[in-house]
Structures are given as C-alpha cells and as structure tokens.
Amino acid sequence: MGGAQVHVRDLSFALTREGHDVTVLTGGSGHFTEELADHGVSWLSVPNLQLPIRPVADARALGQLRAALKRLKPDLVSTHSSKAGVLGRLAARSLGLPVIFTAHGWAFTPGTPRRTAALYRCLERSVAPLATRIITVSDFDRDLAIREGVAATDRVVTVHNGVPDIGPELRASPTRSPVRLIMVARFEQQKDHRTLLESLAGLTDLSWHLDLVGGGPFLPAARSLSERLGLDRRVQFWGARRDVAHRLADAQVFLLISNWEGFPRSVLEAMRAGLPVVASDVGGVSESVEQETTGFLVPRGDVGELRAGLRRLLTDSELRGRLGSEGRRRYEERFRFELTTAKTVAIYRDVLIQCGRVETGSVEIRSSFGARGAVAAKIPDAERAAE
C-alpha cells in the first residue's frame, strides 16, 4: 500500500475506535479494503477512480463520487492524494459539503518531472479554493503551497505524519554486525536506487548486505545494474512484502534515497524501530531526520556524499547505536500516531464549527476516510447546528 492509503487506513482505525462513523471511498478493492473490513470500517468502491489521468474515466469517477456522497449525506469530506483530491473536492462542493484536502506531498515538488509539475501546479491552484482547509504533512509542503500560490497562509496547516507504535520484539539492534542495510521503496521514478547501488559499489572492501523491499516498473533495471556493478551476491530483491516491520527489526541501517518526497512514513517506521537513517535531503525529510543526530542527510543524486556517510556507519557500531536510539526518542516525542490523530480531529472540529455544521463545544465528530478517494464524515444528529 502507498503512504496515502496507509495514512487513511490508520486514521480510519483510530477514529472508529473513538466512536466516529467512518466510510472510505476508494478505487477498486484488495488488501487495503480487506484490512478496512477486518477492522469494522465501512468502504465503498468507486470503480473509475484510478491514478492515471483519463478524462472519460475521471468524469465517470466524479459522478460516482457525487452519487456516493449524496447517499451518505456526510457532514465532512476529507480527500487524500492528487487525483482524489481534485475529484473529491469537486464532488463535495457540488453538494454543498465542507471538504478538506490532505496533500501527501505535492506532485509539483522540486525533483518531479517538469511537465507533470506544471500540470498539477495548475490543477491545484484551480481547485484549492474548494477546500475549507488544506492539510500538508510537512512544513516544507506548506511553504511550497504558499510560495506557488496554491493556498493562503490561513488556509493551509501542517500535521506531520505519525505511525502506530510496535512491540519491543520489533525493535532493531543497530550495533550488531555484519551490517544489514535496508531500503523500503517502490522501484519507480521517484526513488533513486541507482545512486544507492553506485555508492555501495565503492564499499565492497567492507562487510554489508542490502535488502531492497518493494516492487515496481524499474525493478528489472535495478537488478541488471546490481549485476553489472558486481553486487548481485550482496543485494537481495524481496519484492512487495507485508512483513516490513520484521525486515526492519533485522536491519542495522535504514536507507531512503529519492529524487523527491513529501514526508515519508517509511523513515518514521525506521526511527520507530530504532534504526539510524540515511536519506536524500528532499522534501520534508529533514523534518524527521536530524543531521548527525538521528542519521545522515545527503544531497539528491550525490554518490560521493552517500558513500561517505555509509562508510562511517558501516565501520562504527557505536555511532549506529547512538543515532538509532536518538531516532527512537524523536519518534516517541513527535511522530506517534496519537499525535497525528489528535491534531487532525482538532482541524475537523474547527472546519465543522466554521461551516456551522456543529455548535461550539460539541464533544464528538463522526467521520470517515478514503485512500485515493473521498472521505465522508458524519456527526450525530443531536450535535448538528440548526440549518
């Protein structure tokens, strides 16, 4: 599952536990919707809601979203990811419903392809006024939205991603040797496996093993590069996995080498496990990884800097342990999912009060979420303001 889906899943679970009424509208079905059903979260399929831009299918998806929201009669709609953010906002506002958009990293962030960035920058500027509030998952993205004219300062707010905690049995031992490096990321244009592999090709004098978790269209090219660099016996390609937490527990160093990012959850999961993190200094990554304190930040595409940082970690077990422990402490203080939930619900309350859907002081909001889809929210009738 992608980061937006995981965020929606975890937020849906948390709100359901608190007694809110959650319905997820999402394209298709699969592991994501199975988990929702297993935890008692209602979901509806929007068949034409897919990631690629296809005008005919998108028009149908807009109609399907509008019909679903008209039937649900929610008090609040929350949308996630670029495509669903556009269609969900259009559907909600056409019905006079308050709507929030959460940007899980802008599609026009630095490092993205120029034509794609230009298209989504234009789209976001056009639909931004439809949202009562915009949530960004990093201050970097908030500043970018303001700088690019997508939103005014009083309409966009940062709520950093958070991740649920794990048991002690899933904590890593970063001081252990030989060192296992791990990167959890899809093989696609956003991620920079090439720079990682080329950096490691200069560290064959040291003992290490690399686990690459994830699937994607660029996987065959990464395999071929690994073989050409003579790393095929040191690098293992695991494909998509459901046991990522266990893989992290077996590792000593976490890597996220990227061309662009929003505020990656995988970094938080690594810090939660007590791993030092080496990551590209893109997007909001520096808001979680503190240089020389919880890990190392390296410039985008810089093979030399990445190699130097990895050499330090591979040869210094005490450094790995110190950075990993500080990362775990930072996770506990700033990135527990309870903090994300509390801040998000507070924004929902403010929006509902602002729109006259609840009275000031109402104690509960009934809400619902979706990944790559709209999220509908309902509060008890007794808490509605007079209409």
Each residue's pLDDT tens digit, 49-84? 988 888 999 999 999 999 999 999 999 999 998 889
User: Under CATH, what is the fold of the domain 168-334?
Assistant: Rossmann fold (3.40.50)
Task: Report whether pLDDT(384) > 60.
Answer: no
Task: Report whether pLDDT(366) > 70.
Answer: no
CATH superfamily assigned to domain 3-162+336-383: Glycogen Phosphorylase B; (3.40.50.2000)
CA 107 to chain centre: 13
Q: What is the pTM of this model?
A: 0.88
Same fold, 3-162+336-383 and 168-334: yes
pLDDT in tens, 293-323: 999 999 999 999 999 999 999 999 999 999 9
End-to-end CA distance of the chain: 40
Task: Tell me the domain boundaries of the chain.
Answer: 3-162+336-383, 168-334
**Edge-to-edge order in the sheet of strand 179-184:** 235-239, 208-213, 179-184, 253-256, 277-280, 295-298
Whole-angstrom distance, CA of residue 338 vs CA of residue 215: 30
pLDDT for res 298? 98
pLDDT for res 161? 94
Q: Could you count the other beta carbons within 10 Å of the beta carbon of residue 58?
A: 18
